[in-house]
Structure 1
Amino acid sequence: MATTEDIYQLYLQHPVISTDTRKIAPGSLFFALKGDKFDANTFAEKAIEAGAAYAIIDNPAYALGQKYILVADGLTALQELATHHRRQLHIPIIGLTGTNGKTTTKELINAVLSQRFNTLATEGNLNNHIGVPLTLLKITAEHEMAVIEMGANHQREIALLCSIAQPSHGLITNVGKAHLEGFGGVEGVKKGKGEMYDYLTPQPPEGDAFEKHNGVAFINSDDAVLMAMKDERGLSSVIYYGKNDHSDNIVSGKLLDSSPLLILEWKDNLEGGTYTVATHLTGAYNLDNILVAIAVGSTFGLSPEEINAGVAGYEPKNNRSQILHTANNTLICDFYNANPSSMFVAIENMDKMQSGHKVLILGDMFEMGDESAAEHAAVLQKAREANVNERIFIGKDFASVSPTADESLTADKPTFYLTAEDAMVGLKRNPITNATVLIKGSRGMALERLVALF
């Protein structure tokens, strides 16, 4: 069996990792990972034929020569290789997690830090037990910073990812209602996300396996939940940011405009200057994400001009709060994912937006478990109370909590479709024009199919 050091020596010679035989990079190391419906050991020979220098396998039946490196478990070998590589690096690594806003925050921080530093950040949403190791193994001697996004739908996942990435700095964007089925409710979400703070704490909880790290935490001082979580753990190295006048905030800020793109004013509370920046982001809820990016930039010595250049230059292209102007409408494309917390703030944003005809198109939220009916009903009620002109709901979960016959006679009667296909038929029959339209739902609803109808 090959050791982690054995594989690391091969990695130094072949510092590109492949896990998909359809995308083999010549001279790479191919890790044969198992999935629910496949065993990549069966593709090891194909990987070598496609140009991989070595194949890391965990089934001796597929060891066909010296280019096949046998390990006890392919995924564990990948994770241990990434951890070993991380230990050789002497750069700041910022780890971030949270219920909402992780990817947008990661992109904003990367955009700001990249104004001065050679920064590597998680690509897309490669934020799980495979994506985090793959991201770490892309860090080279030329990189001066790294921003690592960490996602989870069960407890102890963030703990695992922190043990691999070993962040020197960390943040939790927020704690809300998402993956309730996997986490076991809201308290489970809080505990799971709190594993980021557990890793950074100078003294881990009694009986916990964490080492002492005493990392730096960026914390939104407006967020009572995060502040309480900080106090519970005794975090000592904290950098605060927020909208309020908290005396310890390194930066604070407020929105000047949000219809629909955000313009904000922020203050450098260390130097005393006040600055304005126009963004390509929509949604008042993104103010917190922008402020933490500003706080990170300020912490690492970037000038206000560099920080503003990074914030202003970031354009979302990942269906997260992305503005799309068509010939007939303005779309807010926010259909990468959805949960009750993100639904509420998105609806509130539409409620406050100064616009003409406003339309909500909301799709089912997945992984809600036993809370599904109650949470879909709450979102439905929130939408019906919002200052918008039309409300369209898509999916069986929303349909299951649709109004009774008497309620459906009210003037604000919402429209329900069981599937996205049904919605497409309905929208073709009754097209929407001259409107601002929010399209939001869980990724599995594939609501991007609606865009062509606007």
Structure 2
Amino acid sequence: MAFDLVVDGRTYPVTTRFVGTMMLTNLLGALAVVHGHGLPLEPAIARLASEEPANERMNVLTGRDGKTYIVDVRKAPLWSTELLVDDLPRMAIPDLTFVIGDLSDIRSNNSAHYRKLARRLSPLVETVVLAGRSAEQAAKLSQEGITNFVVAPTALDVSRYLDSRPPGVVYLKSNGSLQLWRVLDQVAPAAGPPPVPNRQE
């Protein structure tokens, strides 16, 4: 995520390694505290450029297989997942493969929520991978004419599918129940890539 911070008529370009806008309010709050104490903003902005998200909470890794992985596999409440989908057009990641696993906080009408999410993702990404409980919606999505999805019920199935694909960007989204983090066991992450652009004004 990158954005322009305007303070007292001066513009500060801010670049981070965070993905999407979910952390934007937190980052602005931290910078506001720095400014409120009369401290210079430049050192704090420089620190943000190298600050890593928490492990498996939207951190970015480069795999041995040449793919870039955005790893978000510990918690997946529906509201934050929908916010992430809202961000995708601004993120403009070409050839994105989005893996939907098990979502949290869905207490009623589970099937409809998974299908709605897949419908929203379909025109925004190259491939939607349905894993875990979302895989159960494949037949109905096919009946609706959605064709750019792959069914991979388990983490092992996801790994096997990704192994067959060329380098690109993969977003892994699930709560911990599916153990989607096991996909990373197969790709032995190396150094992280540059921050993912997502400029906000």
Residue equivalent to 1:161: none
Residue equivalent to 1:319: 56
Residue equivalent to 2:170: 437
For residues 27-46 of structure 1, the aligned pairs below 5 Å read: none
Q: Report the CA distance between 1:435 and its aligned residue.
A: 0.9
**Partner AA of 2:10 in structure 1:** G
Q: Report the CA distance between 1:405 and its aligned residue.
A: 7.8
3-state secondary structure, aligned to 2:76? coil
**Partner AA of 1:437 in structure 2:** V
- Report Cα offsets for 1:180-231 as digits up to 9, x if no partner: xxxxxxxxxxxxxxxxxxxxxxxxxxxxxxxxxxxxxxxxxxxxxxxxxxxx
Does residue 1:304 correspond to 2:37, yes or no? Answer: no
Q: Which has the larger radius of gyration?
A: 1
Residue equivalent to 1:264: 3
**Equivalent residue for 1:359, pick from 97, 100, 118:** 97
Residue equivalent to 2:32: 295
Residue equivalent to 2:156: 421
- Report Cα offsets for 1:381-436 as digits up to 9, x if no partner: 211232x11110111x313333438527x4733112332233334444xx222211
**Equivalent residue for 1:412, pick from 125, 144, 147:** 147
Contact 1:427 1:453 in 2 (8 A): no
* CA distance in structure 2 between the partners assigned to 1:323 and 1:348 by the alignment: 19
**Partner AA of 2:71 in structure 1:** C
For residues 198-277 of structure 1, the aligned pairs below 5 Å read: 262-268=1-7, 271-277=8-14
* CA distance in structure 2 between the partners assigned to 1:432 and 1:425 by the alignment: 9
Does residue 1:280 correspond to 2:29, yes or no? Answer: no
* CA distance in structure 2 between the partners assigned to 1:406 and 1:320 by the alignment: 31
* CA distance in structure 2 between the partners assigned to 1:316 and 1:358 by the alignment: 20
Q: Report the CA distance between 1:288 and its aligned residue.
A: 2.8
Higher relative contact order (Cα pairs below 8 Å, separated by 6+ residues): 2
Q: Report the CA distance between 1:369 and its aligned residue.
A: 1.6
Contact 1:362 1:393 in 2 (8 A): yes
* CA distance in structure 1 between the partners assigned to 2:166 and 2:87 by the alignment: 20
3-state secondary structure, aligned to 2:122? helix
Contact 1:264 1:277 in 2 (8 A): yes
Contact 2:56 2:72 in 1 (8 A): yes
TM-score with structure 1 setting the length:
0.37
Q: Percent identity?
A: 23
**Partner AA of 1:421 in structure 2:** L
For residues 89-108 of structure 1, the aligned pairs below 5 Å read: none
Residue equivalent to 1:338: 76
3-state secondary structure, aligned to 1:412? coil
- Relative to structure 1, the CA distance from residue 341 to residue 406 in structure 2 (aligned partners, 3 Å threshold; closer, same or farther) is closer
- Relative to structure 1, the CA distance from residue 317 to residue 406 in structure 2 (aligned partners, 3 Å threshold; closer, same or farther) is closer
Q: Report the CA distance between 1:371 and its aligned residue.
A: 4.0
Residue equivalent to 2:197: none
* CA distance in structure 2 between the partners assigned to 1:335 and 1:365 by the alignment: 10
Runs of 4+ deviating beyond 6 Å = none
Q: CA RMSD in A?
A: 2.5
Contiguous gaps of at least 5 residues in structure 1: 1-261
3-state secondary structure, aligned to 1:282? coil
**Partner AA of 1:280 in structure 2:** R
Contact 1:334 1:441 in 2 (8 A): yes
**Equivalent residue for 2:130, pick from 393, 402, 407:** 393
Contact 1:359 1:390 in 2 (8 A): yes
Contact 2:126 2:148 in 1 (8 A): no
* CA distance in structure 2 between the partners assigned to 1:434 and 1:421 by the alignment: 19
TM-score with structure 2 setting the length:
0.78
* CA distance in structure 2 between the partners assigned to 1:305 and 1:373 by the alignment: 47
**Partner AA of 2:166 in structure 1:** T
* CA distance in structure 2 between the partners assigned to 1:352 and 1:400 by the alignment: 30
* CA distance in structure 2 between the partners assigned to 1:399 and 1:332 by the alignment: 20
Q: Report the CA distance between 1:332 and its aligned residue.
A: 1.0
- Relative to structure 1, the CA distance from residue 405 to residue 449 in structure 2 (aligned partners, 3 Å threshold; closer, same or farther) is closer
* CA distance in structure 2 between the partners assigned to 1:281 and 1:296 by the alignment: 20
* CA distance in structure 2 between the partners assigned to 1:376 and 1:344 by the alignment: 11
- Relative to structure 1, the CA distance from residue 413 to residue 267 in structure 2 (aligned partners, 3 Å threshold; closer, same or farther) is closer
Contiguous gaps of at least 5 residues in structure 2: 188-201
**Partner AA of 1:404 in structure 2:** K
